[in-house]
Amino acid sequence: MLRSCTAGLRSIWALRGRREGAPRLSMDLQPARRLFSTEKVIHKDWALPNPSWSKDLKLLFDQFMKKCEDGSWERLPSYKRRSTQESEDFKTYFLDPKLVEEERLSQAQLFTRGFEDGLGFEYVIFKNNDEKRTVCLFQGGPYLQGVPGLLHGGAMATMIDIALGSCTGGAVMTANLNINFKRPVPLCSVVVINSQLDKLEGRKLFLSCNVRSVDEKTLYSEATGLFIKLDPEKSST
Ligand SMILES: CCCCCCCCCCCCCCCC(=O)SCCNC(=O)CCNC(=O)[C@H](O)C(C)(C)COP(=O)(O)OP(=O)(O)OC[C@H]1O[C@@H](n2cnc3c(N)ncnc32)[C@H](O)[C@@H]1OP(=O)(O)O
């Protein structure tokens, strides 16, 4: 397993620079102002295939894109940064202006999208609005290792949180997340996270998901989550 992952890592590094428009690591370390002037980086949709995607991931992606054709499913785009307006709206809920350095905040980005292609979180989420469920296709790269050769449980928890959150829509926060890790996930493998909204009670959204192998034979994890719709009248800080 380790050998195949090392090979994967080598090929990922070999692919660096070959992908048109792929941001270089050094670019991510540039001052925020320069990043924000780089339109391509802000508006780039990361939930699309890149050369690091395995055959399994590409195959599943194509299958779900087909399901999108009749409008029953949609692919959710994914950006590193929220729009200025969204960030401003969200700040009003949480951020005490005295505690925030604007310069720092302008560098903020979704941490799952902060890795170079293939090294961290490669994922795409498809949503079925009528059925109130999502399917997240996730390939965890070599920088997400926990126990040697295996995906870190925290990385899995992150993806579960995002997958469950994608079933909610709107401004919500995770209040509770319960995960049963049943089998370890091999690093660099692809898993499928099926999430659904089970119950809506006032501002409380109860969700659940399972994480399975591509062939559906292995159940890696099961989880439930409670998300709370934010109340604009309340500040959480
Ligand atoms: C507009 C812009 C949009 C932008 C859109 C961006 C989206 C970008 C997506 C990226 C995807 C990243 C996804 C990352 C998701 C996180 O990582 S979130 C970060 C981790 N979570 C947190 O830090 C949350 C910290 N907790 C809190 O801030 C507050 O507790 C909450 C969750 C906002 C709730 O506070 P509140 O609004 O004051 O609600 P509160 O009155 O306490 O509770 C409401 C109800 O929920 C119940 N409840 C609350 N907590 C719990 C709990 N833990 N267990 C059981 N019941 C609970 C209460 O008992 C109450 O029940 P009822 O009495 O109504 O029956």
**ipTM of the complex, rounded to two decimals:** 0.90
Question: Could you report the per-residue pLDDT of 111-152, keeping only the tens digit for each?
Answer: 999 999 999 999 999 999 999 999 999 999 999 999 999 999
CB of 203 shorter than 6 A to ligand 1: yes
Give pLDDT, residue 231. Answer: 84
* CA 106 to centroid of ligand 1, rounded, Å: 24
Catalytic position from the list 62, 130, 161, 231: 161
Q: Does domain 55-229 correspond to CATH entry 2.60.40.10?
A: no
151-181 tens-digit pLDDT: 999 999 999 999 999 999 888 999 999 999 9
- Is 19 assigned to a binding site? no
28 lines ligand 1 (CB under 6 A): no
| Tokens read off for 115 | 């890795």
- pLDDT exceeds cutoff 80 at 2: no
Decide if 161 is catalytic.
yes
Residue 171 CA to ligand 1 centre (angstroms): 10
Calpha distance 94→102 (Å, rounded): 14
For residues 176 and 64, what is the distance between their CA atoms, to the nearest angstrom?
A: 29
- pLDDT exceeds cutoff 60 at 187: yes
User: Using an 8 Å Cβ cutoff, are 120 and 114 in contact?
Assistant: yes
Ligand 1 pocket residue status of 162, Cβ below 6 Å = yes
Mean of all residue pLDDT scores within the chain: 82
Q: Is residue 189's pLDDT more than 90? A: yes
Is 234 annotated in a binding site? The answer is no
Ligand 1 close to Cβ of residue 231 (< 6 A):
yes
The string of pLDDT tens digits covering residues 211-232 is 999 999 999 999 999 999 988 7
209 close to 145: Cβ distance less than 8 angstroms? no
How many Å lie between the centroid of ligand 1 and the Cα of residue 195? 18
Q: Decide if 174 contacts 227 (C-beta within 8 A).
A: yes
Q: Is 180 annotated as a binding residue?
A: yes
Whole-angstrom Cα distance, residue 159 to residue 210?
Answer: 11
pTM (2 decimals)? 0.83
67 is in an annotated binding site: no
Q: Which atom of ligand 1 is nearest to the CA of 171?
A: 3
Give the lowest-confidence range in 38-42, 116-120, 124-128, 204-208: 38-42
Among 92, 95, 173, 233, residue to substitute to test ligand 1 (most atoms within 8 Å of Cβ): 173
